[in-house]
């Protein structure tokens, strides 16, 4: 895990719970998050997501999440993903991320964490662990960022 002070960490802690690490960009159909405390909530556009959330989409559900380092995950129907860890320092553009793609189809674009080091971002799957090593720089709008867009299905 990266050594980042709490004053640098962009992901802000929710009162008494895991830190907020991103938000829902778009959602379709039935999508829920089961939080670390066991509570369950429907996800809507702009809703926050928290470290340790388990995200589930129904047969007609899909969503896109943007994380604090600008990583985006698009999650297809009938899918499940766990947001294991995201630590990010906006001042150094570094941190660490671990996500578990448990079931379904996922497409992602890596953000600043993946570009910060060879072991900074990992995606766990039922078949093994993907180590995201950073990717070539690309332009999107007015912001440069790393990109990788594999489609993963489980």
Instruction: Determine contact, residues 43/27, Cβ cutoff 8 Å.
Output: yes
Mean pLDDT, rounded, of the chain: 79
Separation of alpha carbons 34 and 53, rounded Å: 6
Task: Give residue limits of the domains in the chain.
Answer: 20-153
> CA distances (Å), 68 to each of 51, 111, 150, in order?
11, 9, 20
Q: What pLDDT, on a 0 to 100 scale, did the predictor assign at position 2?
A: 40
Integer-rounded Cα Rg, in Å, for the chain is 15
Instruction: Determine contact, residues 84/110, Cβ cutoff 8 Å.
Output: no
Per-residue pLDDT for 62 more than 90? yes
How much of the chain, in percent, has pLDDT values that exceed 90?
53
Longest dimension (CA), the chain: 41
Average pLDDT of the residues in 10-38: 84
pLDDT in tens, 81-140: 999 999 999 999 889 999 998 998 888 888 899 888 888 988 888 876 666 655 433 323
Nearest CA-CA partner of 50 in 72, 23, 21: 21
Residue 70 region by backbone torsions, left for phi larger than 0, else alpha for psi between -120 and 50, else beta: left
Average pLDDT of the residues in 60-66: 95
Question: What is the phi/psi pair of residue 114, to 5°?
Answer: -60, -35
Per-residue pLDDT for 149 more than 70? no
Q: What pLDDT, on a 0 to 100 scale, did the predictor assign at position 116?
A: 86
Per-residue pLDDT for 12 more than 70? no
pLDDT: which is higher, 147 or 97: 97
Helix H or strand E segment including 115 = helix 112-115
């Amino acid at each position: 895990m990266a050594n980042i002070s709490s004053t640098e960490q962009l992901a802000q802690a929710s009162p008494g719970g895991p830190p907020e690490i991103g938000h829902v960009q778009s959602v379709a159909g039935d999508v829920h998050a089961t939080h670390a405390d066991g509570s369950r909530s429907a996800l809507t556009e702009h809703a926050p997501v928290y470290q340790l959330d388990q995200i589930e989409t129904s047969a007609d559900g899909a969503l896109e999440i943007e994380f604090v380092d600008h990583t985006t995950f698009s999650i297809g129907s009938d899918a499940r993903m766990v947001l294991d860890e995201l630590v990010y320092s906006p001042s150094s553009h570094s941190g660490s991320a671990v996500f578990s793609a448990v079931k379904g189809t996922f497409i992602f674009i890596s953000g600043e964490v993946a570009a910060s080091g060879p072991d900074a971002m990992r995606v766990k799957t039922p078949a093994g662990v993907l180590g995201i090593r950073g990717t070539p720089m690309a332009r999107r709008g007015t912001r440069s960022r790393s990109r990788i867009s594999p489609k993963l299905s489980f």
